[in-house]
């Protein structure tokens, strides 16, 4: 305020100087001087006014004053407390006994008084505080509900008085609510007292739906006083979205269109909280049939409604999780991956029931992870959790039979508002089929790169093209089916890496037919196919005019191939023989496609194997 007055004075002085300069030198000095004198005069006058001196801040209570207030409260026989602002500074023994805090005064002193007050009465308490602590401080009285240590509520008459000797402190004294005292003035008053004790809202409205009577349970339920509610529409306390339906229903009952009204609706209490009630209403008539209005009851059903909604949500969630092809989980971030929740999908995924994994009841989920993947899995998850990022990872896990399967997991951390990791949640599904296909393709590419063999797709295309050219130009060629499947049983006990090494060794023994005039491919299960278009390996190629020359040439190459492949092979530190049988199909017009020629060579190989290792057989010969 001072800065404002000073600024206005300076502006007036400048304005006077400018205006005075317009009327000559005498005015230029006289007018500003007058403004200066006027400002000094007003300043002198202002100093004499009581409002000039700012209102002082209320002094803080001293320790001695606070001790005096506590002693005063202690000497009062009725339940009493002293508060400073909103904080309890002293509570006497009667007050502690009233709320079942006897001998625990240290738990009460220092608390905000509203912590011991029923939430419905917070607004009423604020009003009483404003009266007692206002400029014209005076005693404020009203009915307040206190909350006992066991959670029960007790209604008391409260009197709030300012302590003039202790700045900022108030004394609150409590006495039994007179409204709850026994009334003996008549049957009507006695009945009203009984109805007020019910925890069921009873109401009566006129034909237009305006409240004529409500019992005290109305105050406890809605937070609206009985006196203020009389004469108002009952639907005022109803949620806006349900209000029209209630109005129509009440009018239908009053008009005789409905015998009664039973409905669940939402209400809004004085603090804005929404809750559900069961509203029942019917007409109220005199014996002669005259309509007095509508009577009814209200019962809170919020807890039941929430339970139904929660149950419905849980059923929906369980149905959803039961149809998810995988396992949904929530667990702790520890090396055991201790589970707190596991969906029923764990049975289909790894064969364990959810209860067997929760809290490591039977087995820890972390122990099921393949030993070679545990460190990798832990490091990947921790790195993503540190950055508050979701993670996706594939690894191997053992099922209930001890067989390892490939799984894919997507998860994320659950963090508190302070950034503390509370749990991890995620989803795990089986990807063994996809991983198996990927691994098989990878190993096949590795094998072909190491041995120089042709891929199956290229071999099939090359065979089809050669067969077509042979039939058009009458050029001879042969297809060999080499069966070394007898190796599968001896190497079953070897590791996957050892099996690959054995397969590569066998493939390198196809030297007799490994030249530009031939193509070799691996067919799986230690079986190979060889396409021969040049039967004079190591010599200048020449055309062969007929089958009389082709058959001996093919037989010679097949014999050399069998001799190379049948040499003993070292498996697991011991030498084993390689049983080999060869089926041969010579190009002919009867083969209408590559598949029919393959089938003929395969049948010939089967016949050769039946004759014993080292045999070669021609198809249809």
CATH number of the domain enclosing 532: 3.30.70.270
pLDDT at 619 over 50: yes
CATH code (residue 209) = 3.30.450.20
- Is the domain of 150 the same as that of 238? no
Q: State mean pLDDT over 9-14.
A: 67
Q: Which of 270, 305, 340 is the last residue of a domain?
A: 305
Alpha-carbon gap, residue 99 to 89, rounded angstroms: 17
Q: State mean pLDDT over 68-90.
A: 84
- Which structural domain range is residue 118 located in? 70-180
Q: State mean pLDDT over 318-329.
A: 70
Q: Would you place residue 278 in the very low, low, confident or very high pLDDT band (cuts 50, 70, 90)?
A: confident
End-to-end C-alpha distance for the chain, whole angstroms: 122
Is 435 a domain residue? no
Strands 421-430 and 211-214: unpaired
What was the pLDDT predicted at 8? 67
Judge contact between 511 and 451, C-beta under 8 A: no
User: Over the stretch 516-552, which tens digit does the pLDDT of each residue have?
Assistant: 778 888 887 788 888 888 776 544 344 444 445 778 8
- Is the domain of 288 the same as that of 358? no
What was the pLDDT predicted at 50? 46
Q: Would you place residue 85 in the very low, low, confident or very high pLDDT band (cuts 50, 70, 90)?
A: confident
**Rg of the chain, C-alpha, whole Å:** 49
Range with lowest mean pLDDT among 247-256, 407-416, 486-495: 486-495
Is 64 a domain residue? no
Is 224 a domain residue? yes
DSSP for 584-596 reads EEE--TT--SHHH
- Is the domain of 599 the same as that of 454? yes
Judge contact between 169 and 82, C-beta under 8 A: yes
What was the pLDDT predicted at 561? 85
Alpha-carbon gap, residue 587 to 394, rounded angstroms: 49
Exposed e or buried b for every residue in 268-278, given b needs 16+ CB within 10 A?
A: bbbeeeebbbe
What was the pLDDT predicted at 13? 64
pLDDT at 296 over 70: yes
What was the pLDDT predicted at 54? 44
Sign of CA dihedral 70, 71, 72, 77: positive
Q: Would you place residue 262 in the very low, low, confident or very high pLDDT band (cuts 50, 70, 90)?
A: confident
Q: Which of 180, 208, 234 is the last residue of a domain?
A: 180
Strands 327-331 and 211-214: unpaired
Alpha-carbon gap, residue 121 to 160, rounded angstroms: 15
Alpha-carbon gap, residue 325 to 185, rounded angstroms: 74
- Is the domain of 403 the same as that of 488? no
Is 390 a domain residue? yes
Is 212 a domain residue? yes
What was the pLDDT predicted at 184? 43
């Amino acid at each position: 305020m001072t800065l404002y007055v000073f600024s206005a004075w300076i502006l007036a002085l400048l304005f006077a100087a400018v205006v005075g300069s317009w009327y000559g030198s005498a005015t230029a000095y006289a007018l500003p001087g007058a403004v200066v004198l006027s400002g000094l005069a007003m300043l002198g006058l202002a100093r004499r006014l009581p409002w000039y001196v700012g209102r002082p801040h209320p002094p803080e209570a001293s320790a001695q004053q606070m001790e005096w207030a506590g002693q005063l409260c202690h000497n009062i026989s009725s339940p009493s407390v002293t508060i400073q602002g909103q904080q309890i500074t002293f509570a006497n023994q009667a007050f502690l006994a009233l709320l079942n805090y006897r001998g625990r005064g240290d738990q009460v002193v220092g608390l905000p008084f509203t912590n011991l007050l029923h939430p419905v009465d917070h607004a009423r308490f604020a009003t009483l505080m404003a009266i007692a602590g206002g400029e014209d401080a005076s005693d404020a009285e009203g009915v307040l509900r206190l909350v006992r240590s066991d959670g029960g509520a007790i209604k008391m008459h409260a009197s709030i008085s300012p302590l003039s000797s202790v700045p900022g402190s108030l004394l609150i004294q409590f006495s039994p609510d007179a409204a709850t005292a026994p009334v003996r003035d008549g049957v009507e008053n006695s009945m009203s007292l009984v109805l007020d004790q019910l925890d069921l809202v009873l109401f009566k409205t006129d034909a237009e739906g305006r409240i004529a009577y409500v019992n005290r349970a109305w105050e406890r339920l809605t937070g609206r006083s009985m006196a203020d509610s009389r004469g108002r529409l009952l639907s005022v306390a109803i949620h806006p979205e349900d209000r029209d339906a209630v109005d129509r229903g009440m009018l239908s009952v009053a008009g005789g269109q409905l015998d009664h009204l039973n409905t669940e609706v939402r209400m809004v209490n004085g603090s804005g909280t929404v809750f559900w009630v069961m509203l029942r209403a019917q007409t109220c008539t005199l014996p002669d049939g005259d309509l007095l209005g509508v009577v009814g009851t209200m019962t809170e059903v919020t807890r039941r409604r929430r339970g139904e909604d929660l149950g419905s949500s849980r059923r929906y969630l369980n149905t959803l999780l039961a149809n998810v092809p995988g396992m949904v989980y929530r667990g702790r971030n520890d090396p055991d991956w201790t589970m707190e929740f596991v969906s029923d999908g764990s049975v289909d995924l790894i064969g364990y029931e959810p209860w067997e994994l929760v809290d490591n009841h039977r087995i820890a989920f972390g122990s099921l992870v393949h030993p070679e993947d545990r460190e990798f899995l832990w490091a990947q998850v921790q790195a993503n959790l540190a950055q508050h990022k979701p993670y996706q990872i594939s690894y191997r896990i053992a099922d209930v039979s001890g067989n390892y399967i490939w799984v894919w997991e997507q998860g994320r951390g659950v963090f508190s508002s302070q950034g503390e990791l509370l749990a991890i949640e995620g989803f795990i599904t089986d990807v063994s089929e996809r991983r198996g296909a990927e691994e098989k393709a990878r190993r096949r590419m590795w094998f072909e790169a190491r041995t120089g063999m042709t891929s199956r797709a290229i071999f099939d295309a090359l065979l089809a093209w050669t067969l077509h050219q042979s039939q058009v130009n009458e050029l001879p060629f042969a297809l060999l089916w080499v069966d070394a499947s007898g190796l599968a049983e001896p190497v079953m006990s070897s590791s996957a890496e050892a099996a690959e090494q054995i397969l590569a060794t066998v493939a390198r023994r196809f030297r007799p037919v490994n030249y530009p005039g031939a193509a070799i491919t691996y067919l799986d299960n230690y079986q190979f196919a060889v396409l021969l278009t040049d039967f004079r390996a190591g010599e200048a190629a020449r055309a062969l005019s007929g089958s009389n020359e082709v058959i001996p040439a093919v037989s010679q190459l097949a014999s050399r191939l069998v001799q190379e492949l049948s040499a003993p092979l070292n498996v697991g530190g011991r030498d084993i023989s390689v049983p080999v049988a060869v089926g041969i199909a010579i190009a002919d017009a009867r083969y209408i496609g590559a598949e029919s020629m393959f089938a003929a060579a395969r049948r010939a190989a089967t016949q050769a194997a039946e004759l014993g290792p080292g045999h070669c057989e021609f198809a249809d010969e």
